[in-house]
A = this chain, B = another copy of it.
Amino acid sequence: MPKLDIAGVLIGANGKSAASGIPVNHLRVGLSAHSSLLSHLLRTLSNRVLPPPLPPPQILALLHLLTSLDTQNHPQNIGCGEREARLASSLLLSRGGLIHGIGRSGDVNEMQPKAAGSSVICCVVKIGVKDLLQNSLKMAFLKKSTVTVLPTCTGLSILLCLLTLKKSSPPTATKVLWCRIDQKSCIKSVQSCGLTLLTVPTKKVNDTVTTDLVALSSLLAFHGSSVLCCITTTSCFAPRVPDDIVSISKILKSKNTPHLINNAYGLQSNFINDMLVQSVNKGRVDYVVSSLDKNFMVPVGGAVVFGPDKGKIKDVGKMYPGRANGRVVEDLFVSLLEVGREGYEELWEYRRRLLPKFVKVFGEVAEANGERLLKTEGNDISFGMTLENFTNEECGDIGSMLFTRCLSGCRVVPTGVSKNIGGEEFRGFGSSTDDYGVCYLTAACAVGMKEREVNEFGKRLDSCLKEVVKKREKRERKKEKEKEKEKEKE
């Protein structure tokens, strides 16, 4: 088949006579748009940096052009295998996209022979995420390393990292030192692997809850070589603050113990990013796992794993047995191209600029209701206010009232709750410490929140708290009256 391009088809070899009869100067301007798009792609692949934000129609053109390269879309293709990416639904066929999935049986990052277009899309996605981490978020250590984009949530990605670590560790290393953070999925990851969870207790310092480093050191000393790795957490609900990963990574380096950082939604915080870089430079970091949806505002279900050692990062991809669904990568591709590096920098910057306002509004509501904001320095994403003037039962009411009033994501944490997760008992569950001593309510100022939302958050929260008080007063007045009535009766 002679080599053809769209310019050749529309303008023709002699540059004069288009079969279409469309004036060549019209076509030239149009084709320069396509040329520009292709040169963006070429630069992306060659220079390993994200292109500037592209207009949606150009992204659609590129996405559909690339997916049309997959074998099942070849007009002449005859599928003679057991998996030919055929679709039974015309609705799905009409939507297009990466039907053949990504990866091969041995490695989710390997190229898929039947899906060259998908492979290009995977490349671009990897380049884009690495560019954002290395250049926008200043993780210079990535220069010599790489990232692995996984179509699995943070929890399952941590599981894959644990399995990878286990593979290269002695069989006796079966314990995971885990700095307590009351969120189920990480615990699950450890338990699902059949590993033993060693919980490092936290301590309460003023309002903050933070890992007890002394306890960590002694646990490490005690369990020695049976420790597979230590899992720390950087992004967490207040009053828990990010782990002091710099100190911990130094300890782990000295003990030659692998370090996995659960950095679910930490990429949006420069404070955390700085700690990550220092930890890598001064201590030991094997894997950092971050959620794609929480940091890059894409649909739930993807994660990026990175760290300073290229080989280790690549190994994680090799643990994924089989080809994976392509939608996560496709959605990320579209988002990276539409938003671009400057767009993501703006989104993260916007959050940082919104922070003081959020803290102010939240604090005012607290004060207006006789409560106070928890002082949880170090955590610049999640914040909490006390609910000291409310009973545990009222706290529960507040939680469900906020939910039905469309304030989603607030958490009310009562005192004295115990929870058993896979056999492990957690006292004071929710607060990441056995007894925080006071009910509280958390809310987050996460990437994507708008100024308008902050104001509305304040209003609704305030009205909700006031309503609970009113209800209580009404109840009390009623009781009072009943008492009086009874007195009168007597």
Contacts and interface: CB of A to CB of B under 8 A. Distances in A.
B448 A88 contact: yes
Contacts of A276: none
Contacts of A444: 80-82
A411 to B, nearest CB: 8
A281 interface: no
Given A4-B39, A79-B446, A90-B90, 19 more contacts: A29-B406, A30-B71, A31-B69, A32-B74, A40-B75, A77-B406, A78-B456, A81-B410, A83-B446, A88-B339, A89-B339, A99-B300, A100-B299, A101-B293, A155-B320, A184-B321, A185-B321, A185-B322, A299-B327
Contacts of A322: 153-156, 185, 188-189
5 contacts: A28-B404, A78-B408, A78-B456, A89-B334, A106-B185
Interface in A79-119: 79-101, 104-106, 111-117, 119
A398 interface: no
A76 interface: yes
A68 B55 CA distance: 9
Given A29-B74, A36-B76, A300-B85, A321 B189 contact: yes
B64 A61 contact: yes
Interface stretch (A15-23, A200-208, A239-247, A474-482): A15-23
A44 to B, nearest CB: 9
A416 interface: no
Nearest to A69: B30
Interface stretch (A190-198, A209-217, A368-376): A190-198
A46 interface: yes
A80 B407 contact: yes
Nearest to A293: B83
Contacts of A57: 64, 67-68, 70, 73, 93, 96
Contacts of A221: none
A347 B68 contact: no
Interface stretch (A6-14, A136-144, A253-261): A6-14
A51 to B, nearest CB: 9
A20 B47 CA distance: 11
Interface stretch (A158-166, A306-314, A388-396, A425-433): A158-166
Copies of this chain, count? 4
Nearest to A158: B321
Contacts of A42: 4, 8-9, 19
A293 B10 CA distance: 29
Contacts of A297: 86-89
Given A33-B69, A84-B448, A299 B78 contact: no
B155 A446 contact: no
B10 A120 contact: yes
Interface in A373-431: 381-382, 400, 403-404, 406-411, 421
Contact of A116 (B30, B59, B70, B411): B30
